[in-house]
Structure 1
Amino acid sequence: MAVPATGKPAMTRKERAELTRGRLLAAAVDHFTNRPYDEVAVGEIAQAAGTAHGVVFHHFGSKRGLYLEALREVARRLNEIHVVEEHEEPAVLIRHQLGKHLAFMTEHPGFALSLVHGGIGTDPETREIFEETRSFANERLCATLGLDGTTPSLRLTLRAAAGGIDEVTLQWVESGCAFPAERVVDALLLLLASALEGAARLDPGLDVTEAAGVLVTAAAGAGGGH
C-alpha cells in the first residue's frame, strides 16, 4: 500500500465511501434539523458535504432514503438520552432524562416537527422510526420505575402520554420556549403520573402507587419551587 507524504496509509475505496456517506448524513441531519423536508434540496446537502449531487443517490437511493437515514440517526441519539447509569434515585433520573429530551428537541426543531406530524406526510417508515423511539423511551421509564412495560394498560396510556409529551415539546419550541424548561419538565412528569393512574383505572389489579408517587415527587422537587 502506498504511503503518502503525511506518513499515513492511503484510505481504501471502501473507507473513502464510508467517509463520504458519513459527511452526507451529517449534512442531512443539519439541514433537516432546521428546515422542513420539502424546503431542503438534495443539492444543498451534497454541497455542504463537499461532494457531487449524484453521490447522494448512490449512497441513499433518493432524497427520501437520505431523510429516513437522517431520522434514524436522530432517533439513535434521542434513544441515548434514555440510557443512563442508574446510580441516582429514579426521580432524579427521570427528571434528568426529560430535561435532556427538551434540550435535544430544542436543538433539532425540524425533527421535533416531524416527531409530531409524521415527517413526510403519512410515510409509514417515518412513523415507524418515531414509534420505535417512543416505545424505547417508555420501556426505559418503566424499567426505572420498576414496572412491567409489557402490561397492556401501561402500553396504552404511556403511548398516549408519549404523544402528549411530543406535542407539548413542539408547542414549547414553537413558542420560543415561553416557559422555563424546569417548569415544562414538571408538567411532563405530572402528565406521566396521570398516565400511570389511568393505566391502573383500566386494570384495577395494577399497582402504580409507588411509581406515580416517584413522578409527583420529582415534579415537586427540582422544579416545583420555581
Structure 2
Amino acid sequence: MANARKKKRADIPARDRILEAATRLFTQRPFDEISAEDIAREAGVAHGLTFHYFGSKAKLYEEISQAAADRLDRIHLQATLAGSAPEKLRSFLVAHMEEVHRRRVDYVFHSRGGGTAAIQDIWERSRSHGIRLVLGFYGVTAPSLELAVATRAWLGYFDELVLAWVQGQITNKAAIVEMAFRLFPVAVANAELLGEKNLPSV
C-alpha cells in the first residue's frame, strides 16, 4: 500500500507537487516560518526544484496566493447565484468566513500587509471583485467612486471582525455575519455624504 502511494505521488509532476505541498504548509504556518527546504521535503522533491520552477519562495507564494484569491472569488460567486439581494448578501458573508477559516494563517499574514507588493495587488483585485459582486446584488453594475469607497469601508469593517474571529478573539460567527449585514445599508446610505447622487435601494 505504501509503495502504491509513493508510485501515485511520483506520477504527479514535480511542479504540481511543490504547489500542493506549499499550499498545505502556508495554510498551517506563516510565510516567514516556512523555508524552501520545508516545501521540498513536504513535496518529496529535490531542494533545487523549487527555485528551478518558481525562482524564489516569494514567487511561489505569489502563484499560490493568486490561486487562493481566484478560489475565493469563485466561492463568493457560487454562494450567491440564487436568492434575493439580502439573501445573497448573507450568503456572501457566510461563504467568505468559511473560506477564510480554512486558510486562516495565510489570511492573517496578508491582511496585515505581509508579502510583496504583488501579493497585496492580488488581494486588492479580489477585494474589488467582491465589492462589484455585492453591489451587483442591488442592481449596481457600474458603481461610482463614492459608492465603491463606501462599500470598501464596509468590507474593511467586516474583514477586521473576521480577523478577530479567526484569531479566537471573537467566537460568535453568527454575530459577525449579522453585524456586517446590518451595517451594509448604513454604509451605502452614507455614501451620499461623499457626494453619491444615485443611491441604490438597499
Question: TM (normalized to structure 1)?
Answer: 0.78
Shift of 1:158: 1.5
Which runs of no fewer than 5 residues in structure 1 stay unpaired? 1-15, 212-226
1:101 pairs, out of 96, 99, 105, with 96
Shift of 1:149: 4.1
How far apart, in 2, do the equivalents of 1:162 and 1:45 lie?
33
196-205 or 105-114, larger mean C-alpha shift: 196-205
How far apart, in 2, do the equivalents of 1:204 and 1:67 lie?
39
5 Å-filtered alignment, 1:21-170, equals 21-84=15-78, 86-120=81-115, 123-170=116-163
How many residues are aligned here? 191
2:27 partner SS: helix
Q: Which has the larger radius of gyration?
A: 1
Deviations 1:113-143 (A, max 9, x none): 13421222xx211110110010000111111
Partner of 1:217: none
C-alpha change, 1:60 and 1:93, in structure 2 (3 Å) is same
Partner of 2:192: 200
Asked if the contact 2:26–2:105 (Cα under 8 Å) also holds between the matched residues in 1, the reply is yes
Give the counterpart letter for 1:78 in structure 2: L
How far apart, in 2, do the equivalents of 1:19 and 1:142 lie?
41
Partner of 1:223: none
Asked if the contact 1:95–1:189 (Cα under 8 Å) also holds between the matched residues in 2, the reply is yes
How far apart, in 2, do the equivalents of 1:21 and 1:136 lie?
29
How far apart, in 2, do the equivalents of 1:161 and 1:115 lie?
19
RMSD: 1.8
Shift of 1:100: 1.1
Deviations 1:75-110 (A, max 9, x none): 111111221363321221221121011111111112
Shift of 1:151: 0.7
Which runs of no fewer than 5 residues in structure 2 stay unpaired? 1-10
84-93 or 41-50, larger mean C-alpha shift: 84-93
Shift of 1:207: 2.2
Partner of 2:166: 173
